[in-house]
Every structure is written in C-alpha cells, then in structure tokens.
C-alpha cells in the first residue's frame, strides 16, 4: 500500500479529532475509523463514517409494536430470524461509507453492484497517480478450461516472468505517454511552454486497466451483505475478493450479531431448488438416486453433490 505524506497527515488528523454525540457508536469500529487497511500492492479500504449498530436493526424490526431493546440473547435471536427469513428492511437502517483505492478493472466489476452511492476520483479534473496493480506470481494463472470466467493452473517459470514484464512495461509506457500528452508538472504548469497539453479527459483514455483509481462508496448494511455474499465467496475473482474480505472484518467490528448471522445463513450456507430438495428427501427416505433419474441437469446434480458430499482436502 502506498500513502503519500499528505494522505498520512490527513489520516492522522482525522483520527485525532473526536466529537460528542447522542448517536449509538461502536467502539470496535471507532478504533478502525479512517485507518487505511492495505489491499493488493497499492490499494486500501478505509471506513470513513457509519450509522447504526446491531441494536438499530432490532429497534427497526420492533418499531411496529413499540418495544425497546431487549437482552442481547433476544436481540441476537431476532437478528438471526430476520436473516434466516430474508427480512431485509431492518438491515437497511444501518449505513457505512468506505474510501477505497483499487485498480480500474476491479472498479468496473465492483460498480455492477448498483445499490450504493459512489463518487470516484475524477481524471477529468485531476491527474492519476503512477501506480499500477501487478499480480504476485502465485496469482498468475491460465484460463480455466471449465469456467469461462475463472482461472486454471498457475503459470510458472519463463511464462510468468514474461507476463509480469509485459504488464509492468505496458503500464509504465502508457503512463509515460499519458504524462507526455498532459504536458503538466506537479503544479499544473506546462512542462514544455511551446506546446499545448491534451485535455485531461482525453489523455486518461490511454491508461491501462490496472491503473489505480479511488472512490467513496456508501451503502446500507443489507446491500453491503449482498455484496459480500458474492465477492467474499471463494469463487469470486481474487482481486475483488481481497477487498471484500477486509470489508467483512469491518462489518464484524460494526455489527457482530448481524455478521455472525450472515456467516451462518448466507456465506456458509447453500440454497437448494425445489427439485434439489426433492432429491434430498428421496435420499433421506433411503432411495438410491442417480443423476439420470433425479430430474436435475448434469450441472445441477454436480452442484448438489458439491453441497452434500464433503470434499476431503
């Protein structure tokens, strides 16, 4: 992770400030506020602000008949009931705002989650940093032959070295051309007064997708957990999953009861179709069921077996 001196000073200044409030606060998340959590080689996640806690979920669920917060065990039970039966509205009462630094190609995948308020660093007005995501060798893999959007065997030896060289050289070269087209120094003055610089909004289009960008991303807890259910999953692309993993840790600090329920009923659970459930019932009744007579497609059968049969490592 790379933070310049100004960013480090800003984080220290933000963490040094405090304010009295009557709002509920969460000490575990307060301790994490503004800190940059490293992700990938130059990226980070920071919690900037939040609203609500586990009690806010319970309060919203009980508002219809006016009860206040009960014992922790009862609150946990209610939260687990709400999660189990997919009552989403109470979880929408909590909100959180992140500052994220991430490669552009990860941002383009991330932005498909259209349930957040997003404001991205604008390369129309500012100059992007000379920072690029270069994968560690263990994350360089060939295309999977069974999954069109997945990875296969890890590249090794000269193949891996050549790929890393290409990624690094292309990123550096296109950034050099970007800087040349801009023709600006750090103060914004022309480097070469004899020629005009290209508009920033045009020069940026030459940059590679592994260039880092930044944004503020604000969402409610329900939609955060939906994001995490997809992106903290083992099948998610590594480069976005590592961000989700760190965000899951912030959720555990913020709303531990809700996050535990999420782990139990979403992240560590499986959804079965009506046909899959019928197959399970037949098996429990002692029937020997095979794919041809199961009523499931080969892919569905494989998925069901993946859920039911423990894979020994």
**Count of helices and strands (H, E) across the chain:** 12, 7
75 and 198 in one domain? no
Quote the CA–CA distance of 23 and 28 in Å, as a whole number.
15
Domain stops at, among 208, 226, 249: 208
pLDDT for res 280: 96
Quote the CA–CA distance of 130 and 121 in Å, as a whole number.
14
Q: Which residue has the tokens 């994968």?
A: 135
Domain stops at, among 189, 208, 227: 208
Is 148 catalytic? The answer is: no
CATH of residue 254's domain is 3.30.1360.170
196 and 105 in one domain? no
DSSP H or E run through 13:
helix 5-16
Encode the chain (313 residues) as per-residue pLDDT tens digits: 678 788 888 899 988 888 888 888 999 999 999 999 999 999 999 999 999 999 999 999 987 555 454 566 788 999 999 999 999 999 999 999 999 999 999 999 999 999 999 999 998 888 999 999 999 988 988 877 766 667 778 888 888 899 999 999 999 999 999 999 999 887 778 888 888 899 999 999 999 999 999 999 999 999 999 999 999 998 899 999 999 999 999 999 999 999 999 999 999 899 999 999 999 999 999 999 999 999 999 999 999 999 998 654 4
162 and 96 in one domain? no
pLDDT for res 313: 42
> Residue 79: inside a domain, yes or no?
yes
19-46 burial: b if 16+ Cβ within 10 Å, else e: eeeeeeebeebeebbbebbebbbbbbbb
200 and 223 in one domain? no
> Residue 117: inside a domain, yes or no?
yes
What dihedral do alpha carbons 43, 47, 48, 49 form, nearest 10°?
160
pLDDT for res 235: 87
Torsion sign, CA atoms 252, 53, 101, 18:
negative
226 and 98 in one domain? yes
> Residue 226: inside a domain, yes or no?
yes
Quote the CA–CA distance of 170 and 165 in Å, as a whole number.
8
191 and 87 in one domain? no
- Residue 285's domain comprises 274-308
129 and 52 in one domain? yes
The 10s digit of each residue's pLDDT in 32-66 is 999 999 999 999 999 999 999 999 999 999 875 55
61 and 16 in one domain? yes
Domain stops at, among 208, 224, 257: 208
88 and 124 in one domain? yes
Q: Active-site residue among 46, 200, 204, 231?
A: 231
Domain tally for the chain? 3
153 and 66 in one domain? no
69 and 194 in one domain? no
169 and 109 in one domain? no
pLDDT for res 73: 75
């Amino acid at each position: 992770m790379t933070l310049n001196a100004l960013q480090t000073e800003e984080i220290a200044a933000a963490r040094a400030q405090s304010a009295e409030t009557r709002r509920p606060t969460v000490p575990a998340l307060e301790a994490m506020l503004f800190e940059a959590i490293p992700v990938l080689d130059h990226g980070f996640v920071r919690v900037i602000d939040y609203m609500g806690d586990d009690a806010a979920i319970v309060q919203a669920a009980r508002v219809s008949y006016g009860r206040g917060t009960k014992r922790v065990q009862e609150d946990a039970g209610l939260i687990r009931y709400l999660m189990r039966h997919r009552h989403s509205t109470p979880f929408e009462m909590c909100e959180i705002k992140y500052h994220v630094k991430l490669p552009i190609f990860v941002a383009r995948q991330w932005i498909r989650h259209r349930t957040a308020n997003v404001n991205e660093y604008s390369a129309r007005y500012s100059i992007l940093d000379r920072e690029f995501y270069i994968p560690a060798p263990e994350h360089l893999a060939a295309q999977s032959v069974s999954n069109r959007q997945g990875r296969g065997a890890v590249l090794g030896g000269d193949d891996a070295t050549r790929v890393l060289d290409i990624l690094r050289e292309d990123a550096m070269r296109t950034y050099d051309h970007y800087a040349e087209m801009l023709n600006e120094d750090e103060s914004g003055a022309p480097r070469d007064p004899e020629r005009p610089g290209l508009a920033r909004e045009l020069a940026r289009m030459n940059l590679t997708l592994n260039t880092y960008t930044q944004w503020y991303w604000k969402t409610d807890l329900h939609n955060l957990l939906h994001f995490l259910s997809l992106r903290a999953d083992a099948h998610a692309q590594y480069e976005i999953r590592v961000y989700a993993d760190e965000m899951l840790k912030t959720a555990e600090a913020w709303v531990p009861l809700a996050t535990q329920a999420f782990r139990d009923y979403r992240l560590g659970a499986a959804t079965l179709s009506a046909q899959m459930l019928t197959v399970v019932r037949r098996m429990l009744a002692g029937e020997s069921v095979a794919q041809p007579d199961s009523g499931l497609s080969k892919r569905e059968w494989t998925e069901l077996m993946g859920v039911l049969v423990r894979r020994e490592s």
